[in-house]
Structure 1
Amino acid sequence: MKEASDFHYIGKPLARKEDKRLVTGQGRYLDDIVVPGALHVSFVRSPHAHARILGISADAARELPGVTGVFTGEDLDKWTNRLRLAPPIEGLHPTEIETLPIDKVRFHGDPVAVVVARDRYVAEDAAELVEVEYEVLPAIASLEGAFAPGAALVDETLPSNLVSHQTFSAGNVAQRRGEAHAVVEASFYQHRQTHVPIETRGCAAVWDAGREHLTFHIGNQVPHPLRSQLAGRLGLSESQVTVMSPDVGGGFGQKIALYREELTVAALARQLNRPVRWREDRTENLMAASHARENLCRTRASVAADGRILGLELEITEDFGAYCFYPANYMSRVVAMILTGPYRIEDYAFEVKIALTNKCGNGPMRAPMAITSWVMDGTIDAIARQLGLDPLAVRRINMLREGDLPYRMATGEVLEDITPAETLESVVEAIDYEAFRKRQQALRAEGRYIGLGLCTVVESTTYGSAFYKSTGIPGSGHEAAWVRIEPSGVVNASVGLGATGQGYETAMSQAVAEGLGVDPSNVRIQIGNTDVAPYGMGSRGARGGTAGGGSLYLCAQKAREQVLRIAAHKLGLNSAQEIRLLDGQVERLINGEWSGTGLSLADIARTAYLDPTNLPEGVAPGLDFSLTYDPPPMTYSNSTHACEVEVDIATGALSIARYVVSEDCGTVINPIVVRGQQQGAIAMGLSGALLEEVVYDENGQNLSATFADYLVATACELPNFEILHHHTPNKRTPAGIKGMAEGGVMGAIGAVTNAVNDALAPFGVVADRQPLSPQYLRSLLRECSGTALHEGQKLT
């Protein structure tokens, strides 16, 4: 394993290549792509959360000048195949989805019909003229309602609204309860949220009838899997579909699935033999794109008198919404599997229940397992409160140390090459924990309430194929890459990732440069076109660095071996053991010093392409290389977050005074990119914990479909992030890369909530749900007795 100091290009803070075009307005987003003669669509959406479709009248809409046609679920059902999800997972019910509803709608905003017109304005006007007759049904708008006796069925093909149910047990948690000094129970409710990308969903489909080929322009994170889904749903072969994903204005997990609107557009282009495009507006995005989170976790910890955890039990219930675009247990199962994270817990059991409700369907959102670290470190804090212990001491006594690694978690997951104890101690030192406690006591005497929250994260970053197979989820975790050195010596490379703003063109060029031995400025990364890029699994989680960067690094090394073999032949050497390629120049080791040979990569490339008779025996002309890489079953990075807050008890207003995080994400490909990922993830976590919330009323009506109601943090509401670096390489991945992108979300929601509870400790109340709005915090304070208030203060 190379040390960081051994790298020439990996680890350098190079400016992002893509930023020049993006900040100067030269990016190429979906709406920048001109499709001559394209028709536009608008969807008619249900005003009800749950209703039978009795009839659809579209005569008035069809008569509007400029309207090409109006189509319903029955039409689309003839042109497309339904989505059936039936992975062989015990306790998971198979589900099937029509392209557009035929018999009933399942949530407020469900697309019922589609209007095709000459432009978007006519399409939207015509959609207003489509009349749908409904028979309103009882709406399931909560987890409690989903499980209530006699509850209406969201999916009438299932026996109940419990679409998935799994249990697991390792050790003997019942026996640990009997041995415990105390049993500590805690609950955690994470509210419903959505992704809010700057660029909403959209697509443009062009059908070439002569070639029987579909070109599909879409901003998407997983171009090749999307192509496979699109071809399968349309009854086409994959060679009949090209997916092109240009610059994308954010994804965060929302742009992974093939949604019904996108499939509808593709089917219409084929049926009408006309280009068709669609762009959703902001209200549609907030209401009907994809939602996330909304889960309730309860823990029961059996503990010794010193706070050591003897056994842990977890119950998770998740509201999955109306439709399953993913296996319903997908997100919560990962939470349950990695919950114990950085702590030494051998006796562990979990139960996972997933409910269907009449809400927009759920999908992954940056850190689908976001609640994990809040639940675990929140349980630690609950133990400290009940036993009267210092929360830092409880963390230390349960924390995994270097000598414990590799550590097999109770669920079988193996933790290795992580440093949770080290990141915890570095944050404690940076925040000056003891000084904070003294300051906290002094301020309480003045009637001010500050709190410190700690949260240590073990982030699952890269899921290898072995992980998917062990969990019964269909799919692969491999990634593919190709590297091609052109006759001039410049380097083109590609990987199956889908960029949505992560800085791939920069970081991936550094991975290629390191593996090959050229300056990153001479490497061009080509991604997002399924006819150009190799078939890979795309961007989700934090796999871009480990799987994508790793596969490119290995492929570039493969290219370097061939280049040096040719160089050795040209230099008359028997082997390439004492030559290297650096900055595109071949150097030779002579008497312990590297010296130039006068050969460049361009010289070798010209020979490989244009003078193949001078190649070594057995070496074919050209310099074109490909490689696939399957990461370990799971790789992990880790971090510790510390957040200092102050709560104004008169108003419930929350302010963040300081935020410190110590991160270990292995070998850093580009510090600028990593810092941006850290900042973005923390900001997203804090925004979700403090402000964002999708709200439904008791009838399943979405009350938060505008930015006046769905609040998102801006730079004005967020603190400065102090980032400490504690990077150690992973011994089993190329270049020691671990990946990182989601841990900031996990740590932020845990650290800020734990900080609020620390601030409110004198009042004997616990914030066990989010968002941490002033109204919610005031409601907690109104419930307390008031005896702990500073003399002279009263709650009103």
Structure 2
Amino acid sequence: MSEADFRYLNRPVPRTEDYRLLTGHGRYLDDIEIPGALHVCFVRSPHAHARIVSIDASAALAMPGVVTVVTGRDLAQWTRPLRVAPPIEGLMPVEIETMPVEIVRFQGDPVACVVAADRYIAEDAAEQVLVEFDALAAVTDMWQALEADAVQIDPMVPGNLVSHQTFTHGDPAGVEATAYRIVEASFGQQRQTHVPIETRGCAAVWDLGRKHLTFHIGTQVPHPLRTQLAARLALDESQVTVISQDVGGSFGQKIALYREELTVAALARHLGRPVRWREDRLENLTAAANSREDFCRTRAAVDQHGTLLSLTLEMREDFGAYCFFPANYLARVVAMILSGPYRLDHYAFDVKIVLSHKCGNAPMRAPMSITSWVMEGTIDAIARELEIGPVEVRRRNLIAPQELPYRTPTGETLADITPTETFEAVLRAVDYAAFRTRQRDARARGRYLGLGLCNVVEPTTYGSRFYKAAGIPGSGHEASWIRIEPSGIVNASVGLGPSGQGYESAMANAVAEGLGVEPSKVRIHMGHTDIAPYGMGSRGARSGTAGGGALFLCAQDARRKVLAIASTRLGVPAEALRLADGRIEQREGDAWHGTALTLTDIARQAYMDPTSLPPGLSPGLEFHLTYDPPPMTYSNSAHACEVELDVATGALHIARYVIAEDCGTLLNPTVVEGQQHGAIAMGLSGALFEEVIYDETGQNTTGSLAEYLIATATELPEIEIIPMHTPSRSTAAGIKGMAEGGVMGALGALTNALNDALAPFGVVVERHPLTPMFVRDLLRESL
């Protein structure tokens, strides 16, 4: 099927799920009524590092409505610890208790759990639990963590270095020795957190008669979470059902099985009563999960024309106190894809991941977000050093269309991307030459404009072979099923975990296209482990390629059987038939004509008259398919950001933002556009404002949205989108996937724009966030 043949893909339609979400008929966790449910509240450590001397819960237990108070010692008997120990060279194994028994490792670490008749009683009782701590010295940053006399965070991780990996391709050192110039650049990204509208929460119901746990939770990965929950409770997976209906945002925070959630499940089983928990915003900002906080330094060897000859990356990342994921994973992706759309033969990296007394890390939308800023910032540094235009340096180093497919130094294959085309389109859109004229004129009048460019190559698919090659445990396949009912209505499911991305609309289009029915006739079922097939869930930008691809291919299987049945009934070869909008059509010459048969007729025959089916065909119309996409699929984009800097205050105004993007066949352009806007907004917000700040004692000073700032509509620009989509030749329906490249591009384009505006002052921004205070301090240093 070619792109020109698509009836539903690449065509924008409204999101069908929005009606219930916007009219208050969604089913978020707090909308689920569970009669008799108890509520829990966690007692958390006020110290970043301390020994638990004693816990006195007597006053709390004496309060009316309090059922029990449990500690880490209780949970150690009811649950198994989490061990993260994949066989990866340079990665230290770690083990995590359900709740600390002896030592707390960050401010907010849970030390006790109060169970009461309602949330208000539980919170009041939690204040009556007396915990005696022996405060210990804390490690508050990644550099301190690596000092020889640094306090040990995890006894299993000597020197606090949880992961150290190096790589060399070619001879970077030899190239440097003969290069025209060595250009160095540094990049520091601050610690951030996810801030979903709906904070973490869960509800557990234990059926004593069936010995079965029903677990309601907002999660991106229903099946992997079920697997881990069952294992840590010493249950079979058949004894656990995970249900995740509507989810108010995740951004990577709702992938792991967190200790609070395991505690709730264990309590429901132990008490034989339903138990539920909802964290407040303070808990979410201080104890859910952090992300980002990384530092990169590059050394680029270049010739006199700015040609990139070799590149060396030094990367450090602060992973916090606990590793709910393999600590190498997030930084490893940065190092693997750093070169992006640029030609590079000689490359080396040294990546160290350290622990500290801070909240543990989780992936955050675009966990490799710093990648494009590092690469594009290095390109700009080359341009500054050699006094060559940034556009010229990019054009000189971009992989040309005729060089594709291109194998990167780390072994990744770039194919079916269009970086030259998107870059040139953005330059035309912003009229680059005219901007430089405007910029010169504005500077003469004391106004400082800047234009930042950023080319992005976004990894999207993460197939199983990618994980294998990267030394990361996990699968990248996805599973789907489709059942055409006797009435002709289509039910379908896929193992994704939706959290607001518009999957119901997008995935219905994939089924409709592959089968030949209207999307309105397709109902998508997700987030229920007893209904959906076992899939890997939603993480990264894999859902369109892996999930949409699985449903599209499964629908094609269904179509083939439908047409085989129709062929027998009509006495016409199946090749001369098609299913379009639920009706069987026959080709006569170059034209298609309707027949009297519909999908409903075929479905009724398949179920109600199976003896009339063609030989070899089984009754019914039920289909199941698993799909393991290519190791990696890439989409690409080019970003341009125009800013104006107020040098008196350091304030930055974003005047214009343009993106040209190629993300292959679109399941639903309406959904894609929403993802583009959301990703860019998240990137700009992170670069401008967001920062989790710990003081020198390890106290989190950003525990509310008054201190942890996020961008609002008034700070964000209108986003101009130039669609330049071309299909992938290696995936189902040509889907490439997208959703994280906007974050990557926004970081680079905005920062490069600010540096362009700062050029007359001879200063360069090397870290985020780009607050007015920080920028003003830089300007003061230059005067």
Residue pair 2:478, 2:550 contacting (<8 A) in 1 also: yes
Name the structure 2 match of 1:779: 777
SS at match of 1:134: strand
Amino acid at match of 2:658: V
For 2:718, give the aligned amino acid.
N
1:515 equivalent in structure 2: 514
Match of 2:739 in 1: 741
Measure how far apart 1:79 and its partner are: 0.3
Give, in angstroms, the shift of residue 3 of structure 1. Answer: 3.6
Q: 1:12 is aligned with what amino acid?
A: R
Name the structure 1 match of 2:239: 240
Which of 752, 755, 768 pairs up with 1:770?
Answer: 768
**Match of residue 192 from structure 2:** 193
1:309-328 equivalent positions in 2, closer than 5 A: 309-328=308-327
Quote the Cα distance in structure 2 between the aligned partners of 1:92 and 1:572. Answer: 63
Q: CA deviation at 1:292?
A: 0.2
- SS for the counterpart of 2:297 is strand
Name the residue aligned to 2:605.
607
Per the TM alignment, residue 157 of structure 1 is displaced from its structure 2 partner at its CA by 2.4
Q: Which residue of 1 aligns with 2:623?
A: 625
TM-score, normalization by structure 2: 1.00
Q: 2:648 aligns with which of 650, 658, 668?
A: 650
| Deviations, residues 164-183 of structure 1 (Å, cap 9, x unaligned) | 00000000001110121100
Q: Please name the residue that 1:791 is paired with.
A: none
CA offsets per residue over residues 44-96 of structure 1, 9 Å max, x none?
00000000111111100111110000000000000000000110111100000
Question: Which whole-Å CA distance do the structure 1 matches of 2:52 and 2:659 have between them?
Answer: 52
- Aligned residue in 1 for 2:211: 212
SS at match of 2:685: helix
In 2: Cα distance, 1:40 partner to 1:452 partner:
52
- Aligned counterparts of 2:542 and 2:472: Cα–Cα separation in 1: 17
Instruction: Write out aligned runs for 1:223-302 (5 A).
Output: 223-302=222-301
| 2:629 alignment partner AA | P
Q: What is the distance in 2 between the residues matched to 1:435 and 1:486?
A: 60
Which amino acid is the alignment partner of residue 668 of structure 1? Answer: L
Provide the residue aligned with 1:680 in structure 2: 678
Q: 1:721, 1:176 → 2: CA distance?
A: 41
1:331 aligns with 2:330: yes
Return the alpha-carbon distance in structure 1 between the equivalents of residues 589 and 165 of structure 2.
64
User: Which moved further from structure 2: 228-237 or 591-600?
Assistant: 591-600
3-state SS of 2:108 partner: coil
- Within 2, Cα distance between the matches of 1:757 and 1:593? 59
1:319 partner amino acid:
D
Q: Secondary structure of the equivalent of 2:461? A: strand
How far apart are the structure 1 equivalents of 2:338 and 2:543? 23
Checking the alignment, whether the CA contact within 8 Å between 2:93 and 2:156 is kept in structure 1 is no
Contact 2:189 2:295 in 1 (8 A): yes
Query: C-alpha separation between the residues in 2 aligned to 1:677 and 1:232?
Result: 35
Aligned-pair CA distance for 1:158? 2.1
Q: 1:669: Cα distance to partner?
A: 1.3
Q: 1:566 maps to what in 2?
A: 565
Cα pair 2:44 2:108 within 8 Å, conserved: yes
Deviation at 1:9, TM superposition (A): 1.1
Deviation of 1:591 after TM superposition, in Å, equals 2.5
Q: SS of the residue aligned with 2:714?
A: helix
Indicate the RMSD between aligned Cα atoms, in angstroms: 0.6
**Partner AA of 1:366 in structure 2:** R
Structure 1 counterpart of 2:592, from 559, 575, 594: 594
Is the aligned partner of 1:751 residue 2:752? no
Q: Distance in 1 between matches of 2:315 and 2:153?
A: 20
Question: Deviation of residue 5 (structure 1)?
Answer: 2.1
What secondary structure, in the 3-state scheme, does the structure 2 residue paired with 1:335 have? helix
Secondary structure of the structure 2 residue equivalent to 1:274: coil
Report the secondary structure of 1:715's partner residue.
Answer: coil
- 1:124-165 per-residue CA deviation (whole Å, 9 max, x = no partner) reads 001000111111111100112101121000102221111100
Quick one: distance in 1 between partners of 2:706 and 2:590? 68
5+ residue gaps, structure 1, are: 787-796
Q: What's the secondary structure of 1:550's corresponding residue?
A: helix
SS of the residue corresponding to residue 248 of structure 2 reads coil
Which of these residues, 631, 634, 649, is aligned with residue 632 of structure 2?
634
**In 1, distance between residues paired with 2:147 and 2:244?**
44
Answer whether contact 2:148 2:159 (CA < 8 A) is retained: no
CA offsets 1:95-147 (integer angstroms, 9 cap, x no match): 00000001100001001110000000000001000111111111100112101
**Whole-angstrom CA distance in 2 between matches of 1:52 and 1:422:** 59
User: In 1, distance between residues paired with 2:412 and 2:616?
Assistant: 44
User: What is residue 472 of structure 1 aligned with on the other side?
Assistant: 471
2:583 maps to 585
Write the letter of the residue equivalent to 2:290: H
CA distance in 2: counterparts of 1:591 and 1:279, whole angstroms: 63
Q: How far apart are the structure 1 equivalents of 2:255 and 2:766?
A: 31
The reply on whether 1:725 has 2:723 as its aligned counterpart is yes
Q: Residue in 2 aligned with 1:344?
A: 343
Q: Determine the structure 2 residue equivalent to 1:144.
A: 143
Paired with 1:459 and 1:627, the residues of 2 have a C-alpha distance of 27
For 1:708, what is the secondary structure of its paired residue? coil
Matches within 5 A, 1:454-473: 454-473=453-472
Question: Which residue identity lines up with residue 46 of structure 1 in the other structure?
Answer: S
How far apart are 1:255 and its partner, in Å? 0.4
Contact kept in structure 1, 2:584 and 2:597, CA below 8 Å: yes
**CA shift digits 1:513-549 (9 cap, x unpaired):** 0000000000000000000000000000111110000
Q: Does 1:83 align with 2:82?
A: yes
The Cα of 1:191 is off from its aligned counterpart by 0.3
What is the distance in 2 between the residues matched to 1:665 and 1:260?
Answer: 37
* In 2, Cα distance between equivalents of 1:137 and 1:166: 31
Aligned-pair distance for 1:4?
2.5
- List per-residue Cα deviations over 1:409-430 (Å, max 9, x = no partner): 0000100000111110000000
- Deviations along 1:481-518, one digit per CA (max 9) or x if unpaired, are 00000000000000000000111100100000000000
Opposite residue 618 of structure 1, the aligned amino acid is G
Q: Determine the structure 2 residue equivalent to 1:790.
A: none
Q: CA deviation at 1:469?
A: 1.1
| Partner Cα distance (1:695, 1:559) in 2 | 54
Q: Deviating runs (4+, > 6 A) in structure 1?
A: none
The C-alpha deviation readout for 1:439-465, integer Å capped at 9, x for no partner, is: 111111111110000000000011000
Secondary structure, aligned partner of 1:462: coil
Cα distance in 2 for partners of 1:470, 1:308 equals 30
Where does residue 697 of structure 1 map in the other structure? 695
The CA distance in 1 between the partners of 2:44 and 2:32, in whole Å, is: 27
Q: What is the count of residue pairs matched by the alignment?
A: 783
Percent identical: 68
Q: Return the offset for 1:740.
A: 0.3
Paired residue type of 1:773: T
Between the aligned partners of 1:163 and 1:590, the Cα distance in structure 2 is 67
Partner of 2:658: 660
The corresponding residue for 2:51 is: 52
Return the letter of the residue paired with 1:120. R
Q: Secondary structure at the match of 1:455?
A: strand
Partner deviation per Cα, 1:257-313 (whole Å, 9 max, x = no partner): 000000000000000000000000000000000000000000000000000010000
- 8 Å CA contact retained: 2:727, 2:734: yes
Paired residue for 1:789? none
| C-alpha separation in 2, matches of 1:319 and 1:158 | 14
Q: How far 1:597 moved relative to its partner?
A: 1.1
Q: Secondary structure at the match of 2:770?
A: coil
Structure 1 segment 54-203 matched on structure 2, within 5 A: 54-203=53-202
2:200 and 2:697 mapped to 1: Cα distance? 27
**Which residue does the alignment assign to 1:793?**
none
CA contact (8 A) 2:309 2:346 kept: yes
